[in-house]
Amino acid sequence: MDRTAPAIQLDQFMKLKGMVGAGGQAKLVIQAGEVLVNGVVETRRKKKLKPGDKVTFGGQTVAVAR
Widest CA span of the chain, in angstroms?
Answer: 32
Write the class of the CATH domain 8-63.
alpha beta
Rg (alpha carbons) of the chain, rounded to whole number:
11
Domain ranges of the chain: 8-63
Q: What is the mean pLDDT of the chain?
A: 92
Q: What is the pTM of this model?
A: 0.88
Could you read off the pLDDT of 20-48 as tens digits, one per residue? 998 899 999 999 999 999 999 999 999 99
Burial class (CB within 10 angstroms; exposed 0-12, middle 13-18, buried 19+) of 10: buried
- Angle subtended at Cα 5 by Cα 45 and Cα 53, rounded to the nearest 5 degrees: 50
pLDDT band at 1 (very low <50, low <70, confident <90, very high): very low
What mean pLDDT comes out for the span 1-6?
Answer: 59
Neighbouring-strand partners of residue 8: 49
The pLDDT of residue 5 is: 62
